[in-house]
Amino acid sequence: MTTPGPLRSWESLAEFWDAKQGDDGDTWHRTLINPGVWSVLGDVRGLRVLDQACGNGAFSRQMARRGAHVVGMDASAPIVALASQREARSPLGIVYHVGDVSSTPQLPDGSFDVVLSKMALMDMPDGVAEAALREAGRLLKPGGRLVAAIIHPCFEGPDAAWVTEKAGPDTRVWRKVGRYREHVQMLCPWRAPDGSRFYTFMYHRPLAWYVRAVSSAGVAVTAVEEPGPTDEFYREDNEGQLIAQVPLHIVFEAKKLR
Ligand SMILES: C[S@@+](CC[C@H](N)C(=O)[O-])C[C@H]1O[C@@H](n2cnc3c(N)ncnc32)[C@H](O)[C@@H]1O
């Protein structure tokens, strides 16, 4: 695949991601995605939570502050080092591991009340994402919950774009999508603080793929949320009016039945 700019691995992006997310998350996480995740997660006090692909641990720390016992895992050793530094500076009892969440034999069956996967499954190729969901199913106690936030595959994917049209005093908005049913390796654009662009790989697959993968993992979908802009998001980002009409993220909860 030819790229319009440098392609970066998550490993090489540890400093960038840690600076971007800080302790609370950037605008999109803090004021749009995280409120949607919290509305599905609910009260985590006393729960044992695995944060799969935890990044710099910003959300692990939020869950720990609300009383969860959190284990964070990420495949990038440098980002786990930065998460661990945050933990050392301001301890919340979080245990971090470097590891691929698609294969976690070191963690015993049924050892978590909640497995969280926030904005990471779409960064994994099909086989890896499927295995990560399977691991989530294995690691959950009966009655435990998988909570996953991903880019909304119905509205973000190959060829997706906003289409806006002035209609008198109103602006009408559509979301154009194409090639929805295809599994497509895509480029996710990022902007460095100096304004330069770079890309990571992300993987589009239809929503039905996720539901099938979740069901195969032995968990049943019990809730779905499509985060809408909060007042803060409207103030901090100019896509608020658009996202108010069409969601770009989806959060789902799936319960392990036995
Ligand atoms: C977009 S970041 C999200 C981080 C964090 N969950 C958050 O919401 O800020 C995606 C993360 O997934 C991690 N990742 C990708 N594939 C992984 C895998 N197979 N196992 C563990 N971590 C993985 C990357 O290293 C990166 O830190």
Q: Average pLDDT for consecutive 10-residue bins of the chain (258 residues)?
A: 85 97 97 98 98 98 98 98 98 98 98 98 98 98 98 97 90 93 97 94 98 97 98 96 96 94
Task: Tell me, using a 6 A CB cutoff, whether residue 10 lines ligand 1.
Answer: yes
- Sign of the CA dihedral running 247, 205, 134, 8: negative
User: Residue 1 has what pLDDT?
Assistant: 63
DSSP characters over 12-27? GGHHHHHHHHTTT--H
- Ligand 1 centre from 169 Cα, in Å? 43
- Ligand 1 centre from 120 Cα, in Å? 5
Task: Tell me, using a 6 A CB cutoff, whether residue 54 lines ligand 1.
Answer: yes
- Give the residue from 74, 34, 31, 32 showing the smallest Cα distance to 51: 74
Task: Tell me, using a 6 A CB cutoff, whether residue 76 lines ligand 1.
Answer: yes
Ligand 1 atom, smallest distance to 53 CA:
22
Question: What is the value of pTM for the model shown?
Answer: 0.96
Report the distance separating Cα 224 and Cα 146, nearest Å. Answer: 12
Kindly report the protein residue whose alpha carbon is nearest to atom 9 of ligand 1.
55
- Ligand 1 centre from 167 Cα, in Å? 41
| b (16+ CB within 10 A) / e for 138-175 | bbbeeebbbbbbbbbbbbbbeebeeeeeeeeeeeeeeb
- Ligand 1 centre from 78 Cα, in Å? 12
Position 21: which residue type? Q
- Scan for tokens 């996953």, then name that residue: 148
- Ligand 1 centre from 166 Cα, in Å? 39
